[in-house]
Chain A
Amino acid sequence: MSEKDVKGDVNNITRRKFFLFFGWFGILSSLAGSAFGAVRFMFPNVLYEPSTTFKIGKPSDYPPNTVTFVQDNRLFVVRGKDGIEGIRIISSICTHMGCTPKWVEAKNQWECPCHGSVFNIKGEVIAGPAPKPLPWYKTTVAPDGKIVVDSKNYVKPDYQIKV
């Protein structure tokens, strides 16, 4: 190679180097493009999952002073507990790893079978590994008299629908 062959010299770019660069550029960018496409492909755009807003029957289905488990929607209907008369809806998805805590009437608390988290009647964690309280869901009554739950919308524990 001659003296001219130093970095920054425009004449340094030979035809061979030019094609080498574009060859690799072509191969690598098409690989990167395919890889991006393949990863993006794995994220579905349309989900056929149940709606996060749904109805769970009439208030009269839930007697006063009870906690009722609604399995299909993974929640508890709490009525007339903790000094609050109305109907309130709390999630039954453990904030630890997603198991279903069980309502224990005698102790007035929820207990998770998987790793022993315990939630009091306010939904607060009083034992176990769960990092967050059980969330209360926003609830309204539809014109047909049925309870509508919006499980994406969290509210304070004293949020209730009067009955």
Chain B
Amino acid sequence: MKKKNTIADLLFNNRFWKSVFRHDYPDNDLSRSEAMTSNLFLHIQSVKVHTNTIRPGYTLGLGLISFYLFIILTITGVLLMFYYIPSIERAYNDMKDLEFAVSYGIILRNLHRWGAHGMVAFVFFHMCRVFYTGGYKQPREFNWGIGIVLLILTLFLSLTGYLLPWDQLAFWAITIVANLIGTSPPESILGASLRYIVVGGREVGQNALIRFYVMHVIVLPLVAAVLIGVHFWRIRKDGGISRPAEE
């Protein structure tokens, strides 16, 4: 490339920039498509898509909103972890500290809580959209299945997070859920052991708190992240977002 002394040239036409972005400045079709295919984060989207994919009225952006909420929840959640200690002596006081003593703690906590409620709602709305546009039909049945697992993971994330403040609401909600699990038939074999393994004993206490915490901050988000990756990859492999048959 010929050296021109423009600002764009100074910024993009040097060895450092080229080592990060192999393609030319995206001002023509070829380098624009290279910009997509040579980037880990962008290559998930295909270079050319059907208009349905980018028509806001078709997807209503509900899947992407679910994904953004997941990202927000991950970031705010990691920040909350710096102050929250999953111990029955400390948990409730840590939540109060986050609200009243930590700078911007209340914003983070509320972002995390409202984001969590929002994610449950938007994942459900997204599922409704897929249903109403017939997006679950062949060849997208498998991705519908992945979606069901993602919905369940979202609900489990919501449930496990609900216990963590260790307030009355949390305690009794989990007491009820634990007993509900305990009624899985046959009660004396399956129900009893499921309840025991979920609560980590007979009473909702320290063991239950640490179990829910580990599920909430590591196990479930990790599985969800992997499955979201598979979900996105399958959209491309299934030929992009569903659309009416070509005339």
Pick the contact of B176: A43, A47, A98 (CB < 8 A): A98
Chain A 92-110, CB-CB to B under 8 Å as 1, else 0, gives: 0000111100000000000
Pick the contact of B175: A48, A50, A97 (CB < 8 A): A97
Inter-chain contact B175/A98, CB cutoff 8 Å: yes
Pick the contact of B193: A43, A50, A99 (CB < 8 A): A43
**Which of B11-19, B56-64, B194-202, B220-228 contacts the other chain?**
B194-202
Inter-chain contact A97/B203, CB cutoff 8 Å: no
CB contacts (< 8 Å) of A50 on chain B: these are 203
Inter-chain contact B172/A47, CB cutoff 8 Å: no
Determine chain B's interface SS by DSSP, over half rule. Answer: helix
- CB-based nearest B residue for A113: B172
CB contact list, B162-184 vs A, under 8 A: 172, 175-176, 178-180
Do A49 and B176 form a contact, CB below 8 Å, given A43-B196, A43-B197?
no
CA distance A11 to B15 in the complex (A): 66
A44 interfacial contact with B, CB 8 Å? yes
CB contacts (< 8 Å) of A1 on chain B: these are none
A42 interfacial contact with B, CB 8 Å? yes
Q: How close is B78's CB to chain A, nearest CB, in angstroms?
A: 25
Chain B 185-219, CB-CB to A under 8 Å as 1, else 0, gives: 00000000100110011110111000000000000
Q: How close is A64's CB to chain B, nearest CB, in angstroms?
A: 32
Do A49 and B205 form a contact, CB below 8 Å, given A43-B193, A97-B180?
yes
CA distance A48 to B210 in the complex (A): 14
CB contacts (< 8 Å) of B196 on chain A: these are 43
CB contacts (< 8 Å) of B201 on chain A: these are 44, 47, 49
Number of A-B contacts (CB under 8 A): 31
Q: How close is A19's CB to chain B, nearest CB, in angstroms?
A: 33
Inter-chain contact A114/B207, CB cutoff 8 Å: no
CA distance A7 to B175 in the complex (A): 57
CB contacts (< 8 Å) of B205 on chain A: these are 49
CA distance A114 to B171 in the complex (A): 13
Q: How close is A84's CB to chain B, nearest CB, in angstroms?
A: 30
CB contact list, A43-85 vs B, under 8 A: 43-44, 47-50
Inter-chain contact B200/A99, CB cutoff 8 Å: no
Inter-chain contact A99/B202, CB cutoff 8 Å: no
- CB-based nearest A residue for B197: A42
Inter-chain contact B203/A49, CB cutoff 8 Å: yes
Do A97 and B202 form a contact, CB below 8 Å, given A43-B196, A43-B197, A44-B207?
no
- CB-based nearest A residue for B180: A97
CB contacts (< 8 Å) of A42 on chain B: these are 197, 200
- CB-based nearest A residue for B193: A43
CB contacts (< 8 Å) of A97 on chain B: these are 175-176, 179-180
Report 27 cross-chain contacts, Cβ distance below 8 Å, ordered by A residue.
Answer: A42-B200, A43-B193, A43-B196, A43-B197, A44-B200, A44-B201, A44-B207, A47-B201, A47-B202, A48-B206, A49-B201, A49-B202, A49-B203, A49-B205, A50-B203, A96-B179, A97-B175, A97-B176, A97-B179, A97-B180, A98-B175, A98-B176, A98-B178, A98-B179, A99-B172, A99-B175, A114-B176
Beyond known contacts A48-B206, A99-B176: 11 more, CB 8 A cutoff: A42-B200, A43-B196, A43-B197, A44-B201, A47-B202, A49-B202, A96-B179, A97-B175, A97-B179, A97-B180, A99-B172
Residues of B within 8 A of A (CB): 172, 175-176, 178-180, 193, 196-197, 200-203, 205-207
Residues of A within 8 A of B (CB): 42-44, 47-50, 96-99, 114
